[in-house]
Amino acid sequence: MSSMLFTPFKLKNISLKNRIVVSPMCQYSSEDGFANDWHLVHLGSRAVGGAGLIITEATAVSPEGRISPQDLGIWKDEHIEKLKQITDFVSEQGSVAGIQLAHAGRKASTFPAWKGRGQVPAAQGGWKTVSASAIPFLPNEDAPLELDREGIQKVIRDFASAAERSLKAGFKVIEIHAAHGYLVHQFLSPLSNQRTDEYGGSFENRIRLLLEIVSAVKSVCPDEQPLVVRISATDWAENGWDTDQSVKLSEILKNEGVDLIDVSSGGLVSYAKIQVGPSYQVPFSARIKKEAGAATGAVGLITEAAQAEEILQNGEADLIVMARELLRDPYFPLHAAHKLGEDIAWPIQYDRAKPAL
Domains of the chain: 9-353 (3.20.20.70)
* Whole-number average pLDDT of the chain: 97
Which phi-psi region, left, alpha or beta, contains residue 292 (left: φ > 0; alpha: ψ -120 to 50)? alpha
What is the band of 63 on the pLDDT scale with cuts at 50, 70, 90? very high
What is the band of 2 on the pLDDT scale with cuts at 50, 70, 90? confident
What is the band of 1 on the pLDDT scale with cuts at 50, 70, 90? low
- d(CA 277, CA 300) in angstroms, rounded, equals 8
Q: How far is CA 351 from CA 1, 96, 340, 348, in A?
A: 20, 21, 18, 5
Average pLDDT on 86-102 reads 98
Q: What are the pLDDT digits (tens) for 108-154?
A: 999 998 888 899 999 999 999 999 999 999 999 999 999 999 999 99
Q: What are the pLDDT digits (tens) for 205-219?
A: 999 999 999 999 999
Catalytic residue, chosen from 182, 199, 331, 350, is: 182
Concerning whether 271 is annotated as a catalytic residue, the answer is no
- d(CA 226, CA 151) in angstroms, rounded, equals 27
Confidence check: pLDDT of 86 > 90: yes
Confidence check: pLDDT of 251 > 70: yes
Average pLDDT on 36-42 reads 98
Predicted pLDDT of residue 113 = 84
Predicted pLDDT of residue 253 = 98
Q: Over the chain, what HEC string results? A: CCCCCCCCEEECCEEECCCEEECCCCCCCCECCECCHHHHHHHHHHHHCCCCEEEEEEEECCHHHCCCCCCCECCCHHHHHHHHHHHHHHHHCCCEEEEEEECCHHHCCECCHHHCCCECCHHHCCCCCEECCCCCCCCCCCCCEECCHHHHHHHHHHHHHHHHHHHHCCCCEEEEEECCCCHHHHHHCCCCCCCCCCCCCCHHHHCHHHHHHHHHHHHCCCCCCCEEEEEECCCCCCCCCCHHHHHHHHHHHHHCCCCEEEEECCCCCCCCCCCCCCCCCHHHHHHHHHHHCCCEEEECCCCCHHHHHHHHHCCCCCEEEECHHHHHCCCHHHHHHHHCCCCCCCCCCCHHHCCCC
Predicted pLDDT of residue 115 = 87
Predicted pLDDT of residue 116 = 83
- 256 CB-contact burial (10 Å; exposed 0-12 / middle 13-18 / buried 19+): middle
